[in-house]
């Protein structure tokens, strides 16, 4: 029997941008609650909510100043409890974001730590003496630009921050830090949350000798500045395995919860995070559909390589977008957005969707005076800013897209009057209908959430595979190109099939005979069951 987090589809909500009920232009918990019916009708199984904890918002909630409370901007703990109860009442799960690598510089732990070299919490963070020339202790960089070290004038030492200087890194070699963070997990698990997405899980432990990172020979101008070196000593250290195991033990103190790790690493290192004996993360997030070039042959290869890299008993997962990346409709273009959705929701493994992708939202141009993201502010004009993919959910064609009663914190897309939930629900040809039908099919056909994956030989712009076996088998054929294509089926498939879904929503029930024809940018799911056997 598979678990909910194996069968289910995860839907990421960026809370600042989902729904504002308090009228300040920023989304909140009551807003999310008011849209649970929408989420349920969409057909997903779990929501993951980016951080809603108290925070100075230097990195929009990824700088936490209290792990066991709710930021007043998002509501109260009572609002959270109601949201959780109502989520569960609908049969949905709720996953929180856990940010263990760093706190806010306004967290009481850091305030105490920086107060003096003798502070009881000094060793909760990574403090080092200056280099002999007075500069930073080593060459480690911040992912948001510049040195990863900040000098504290008062105590004469530097502290390390992998992200903003307002996000000092915790010292995960200190057992007191570990114990305190485990208690944070227990606090929320006792409240009833169903699991965590762990922020930058591969960063938690750094080299104990603080050795310099080597230069990256593959660095090209225009790459994010920190790619100039290979983070051999500042991330993905061997000791991380024990840290993850210990997190997992806390999760396993409770029934049926999930541990998901945010990890940007090559596949062979990524799969190590399942842990020896699968006692690590349940789902080390797999971002390959975000990072890889969008073409059939390359994707075919990476899917097969990922499938064979997963340890025995490990469960795969796929992510199409998140709040740190360009939106899928912008990355692959609107014509391919449905093909991408069909790929995400038919591969073997837990899919994670990003809010708004189901209505075809694209990146929004942010004028310089509206920039919010510190990454864009630190590295302007390089296309690294994350605001364009974080704009408010487009609910209606009305004022402020039905997101808020006041102008929202980030600009709305120009086309929100035509691309919004209400308008799309009235038109059965739109991408929202496609996503709802696809998610419905996933629920109805066990082959999609659970069946085995088998590649099917295809050429050029076509990618094909089957899911499941025997009568339950489905054939998925996706056209990544702008020309029509045909997949000729070999004898291993029954000669006659029936189209269960096309990305164009106009071929359901059509029979296929020995081959499958696709229009440009089309994907289809073919069922080989006898029609009366299709539920
Ligand atoms: C990854 C998060 O997804 C991103 O939004 C954040 O800026 C960094 N971690 C730092 O917490």
Residue-wise DSSP of 177-222: HHHHHHHHHHHHHHHT--EEEETTGGGS---TT-PPPPB-TT--TT
Residue among 96, 163, 203, 234 to mutate when testing ligand 1 (max atoms within 8 A of CB):
163
CATH number of 108-160: 3.90.400.10
**Each residue's pLDDT tens digit, 506-515:** 999 999 999 9
Indicate if the pLDDT at residue 172 is higher than 80.
Answer: yes
CA-wise closest residue to 280 among 323, 255, 310, 306: 310
**Each residue's pLDDT tens digit, 383-415:** 999 999 999 999 999 999 999 999 999 999 999
Which residue spans of the chain are classified as CATH 3.20.20.80? 4-103+175-207+236-367+388-439
- Asked if 56 contacts 62 with a C-beta cutoff of 8 angstroms, the reply is no
Beta bridge partners of 354: 12
Q: What is the pLDDT of residue 529?
A: 80
Residue among 12, 58, 60, 62 to mutate when testing ligand 1 (max atoms within 8 A of CB):
62
The predicted model gives 353-364 an average pLDDT of: 98
Instruction: Compute, in angstroms, the gap from residue 144 CA to the centroid of ligand 1.
Output: 10
Residue nearest to atom 5 of ligand 1 (CA): 324
- Tokens found for residue 223: 């790459």
Catalytic residue status for 45: no
Indicate if the pLDDT at residue 472 is higher than 80.
Answer: yes
Indicate if the pLDDT at residue 1 is higher than 80.
Answer: no
Indicate if the pLDDT at residue 534 is higher than 50.
Answer: no
User: DSSP label at 129?
Assistant: P
Report the percentage of the chain scoring pLDDT > 70.
Answer: 99
Residue 485's contacts (CB-CB under 8 Å, 6 or more residues apart) are 460, 461, 462, 479, 517, 518
Q: What is the pLDDT of residue 127?
A: 98
62 close to ligand 1 (CB < 6 Angstrom)? yes
The mean of the pLDDT values for the chain is 97
CATH number of 452-529: 2.60.40.1180
Catalytic residue status for 312: no
- 384-397 as b/e: b if 16+ CB within 10 A: bbbbbbbbbbbbee
Residue in 252, 253, 471, 483 annotated catalytic = 253
**Each residue's pLDDT tens digit, 93-131:** 999 999 999 999 999 999 999 999 999 999 999 999 999
Q: What is the pLDDT of residue 530?
A: 61
Instruction: Compute, in angstroms, the gap from residue 99 CA to the centroid of ligand 1.
Output: 8
CATH class for the domain made up of 4-103+175-207+236-367+388-439: alpha beta
- Classify residue 106 as left (phi > 0), alpha (psi -120 to 50) or beta: alpha
Which residue spans of the chain are classified as CATH 3.90.400.10? 108-160
Beta bridge partners of 10: 46, 352
Indicate if the pLDDT at residue 518 is higher than 50.
Answer: yes
CA distances from 351 to 23, 60, 283, 359, 531 (A): 33, 25, 11, 17, 28
Q: What is the pLDDT of residue 535?
A: 46
Instruction: Compute, in angstroms, the gap from residue 56 CA to the centroid of ligand 1.
Output: 15
The predicted model gives 483-508 an average pLDDT of: 94
Residue among 58, 59, 99, 170 to mutate when testing ligand 1 (max atoms within 8 A of CB):
59
Residue 4's contacts (CB-CB under 8 Å, 6 or more residues apart) are 45, 46, 93, 194, 256
Q: What is the pLDDT of residue 351?
A: 98
Residue nearest to atom 4 of ligand 1 (CA): 324
Indicate if the pLDDT at residue 532 is higher than 70.
Answer: no
Cα–Cα distance measured from residue 197 to residue 259, given in angstroms and rounded to the nearest whole number: 6
**Each residue's pLDDT tens digit, 150-171:** 999 999 999 999 999 999 999 9
Indicate if the pLDDT at residue 491 is higher than 70.
Answer: yes
Please state the length of the chain: 535
Please state the atom number of ligand 1 nearest to the C-alpha of residue 62: 11
pTM assigned to the model: 0.97
**Each residue's pLDDT tens digit, 36-71:** 999 999 999 999 999 999 999 999 999 999 999 999
- Tokens found for residue 152: 């504290």
């Amino acid at each position: 029997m598979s678990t909910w987090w194996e069968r289910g589809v995860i839907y990421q909500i960026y809370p600042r941008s989902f729904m504002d009920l308090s009228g300040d232009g920023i989304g909140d918990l009551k807003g999310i609650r008011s849209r649970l019916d929408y989420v349920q009708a969409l057909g997903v199984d779990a929501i993951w909510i980016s951080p809603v904890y108290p925070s100075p918002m230097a990195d929009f909630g990824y700088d936490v100043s209290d792990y066991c409370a709710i930021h007043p901007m998002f509501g109260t703990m009572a609002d959270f409890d109601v949201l959780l109860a109502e989520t569960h009442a609908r049969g949905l799960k709720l996953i929180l974001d856990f940010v263990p690598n760093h706190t806010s510089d306004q967290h009481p732990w850091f305030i105490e730590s920086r107060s003096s070299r003798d502070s009881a919490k000094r060793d909760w963070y990574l403090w080092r003496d200056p280099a002999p020339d007075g500069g930073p202790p080593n060459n480690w960089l911040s992912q948001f630009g510049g040195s990863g070290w900040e000098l504290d004038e008062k105590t004469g030492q530097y502290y390390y921050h992998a992200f903003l200087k307002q996000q000092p890194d915790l010292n995960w070699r200190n057992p007191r830090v570990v114990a305190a963070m485990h208690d944070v997990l227990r606090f929320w698990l006792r409240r009833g949350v169903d699991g965590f997405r762990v922020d930058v899980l591969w960063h938690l432990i750094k080299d104990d000798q603080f050795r310099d990172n080597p230069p990256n020979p593959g660095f090209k101008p225009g790459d994010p500045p920190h790619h100039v070196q290979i983070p051999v000593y500042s991330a993905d250290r061997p000791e991380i395995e024990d840290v993850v195991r210990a997190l997992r033990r806390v999760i396993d103190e409770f029934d049926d919860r999930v541990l998901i790790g945010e990890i940007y690493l090559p596949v062979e290192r990524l799969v190590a995070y399942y842990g020896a004996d699968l006692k690590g993360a349940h789902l080390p997030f797999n971002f390959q559909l975000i990072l890889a070039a969008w073409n059939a042959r390359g994707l075919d290869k990476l899917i097969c390589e990922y499938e064979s890299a997963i340890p025995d008993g490990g469960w795969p997962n796929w992510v199409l977008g998140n709040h740190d990346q360009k939106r899928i409709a912008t990355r692959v273009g609107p014509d391919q957005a449905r093909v991408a959705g069909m790929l995400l929701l038919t591969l073997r493994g837990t899919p994670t969707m990003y809010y708004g992708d189901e209505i075809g939202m694209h990146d929004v141009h942010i004028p310089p005076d509206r920039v919010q993201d510190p990454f864009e502010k630190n590295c302007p004009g390089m296309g690294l800013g994350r605001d364009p993919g974080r704009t408010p959910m487009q609910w209606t064609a009305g004022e402020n897209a039905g997101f808020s009663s006041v102008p929202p914190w980030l600009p709305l897309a120009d086309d929100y009057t035509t691309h919004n939930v209400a308008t799309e629900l009235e038109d059965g040809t739109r991408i929202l209908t496609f996503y709802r039908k696809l998610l419905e099919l996933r629920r109805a056909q066990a082959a999609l959430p659970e069946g085995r994956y088998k590649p099917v030989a295809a050429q050029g712009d076509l990618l094909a595979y089957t899911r499941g076996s025997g009568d339950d088998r489905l054939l998925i054929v996706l056209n990544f190109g702008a020309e029509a294509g045909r997949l000729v089926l070999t004898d291993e498939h029954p000669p006659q099939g029936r189209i269960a879904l096309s990305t164009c929503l106009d071929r359901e029930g059509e029979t296929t005979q020995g081959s499958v024809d696709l229009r440009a940018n089309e994907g289809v799911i073919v069922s080989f069951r006898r029609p009366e056997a299709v539920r």
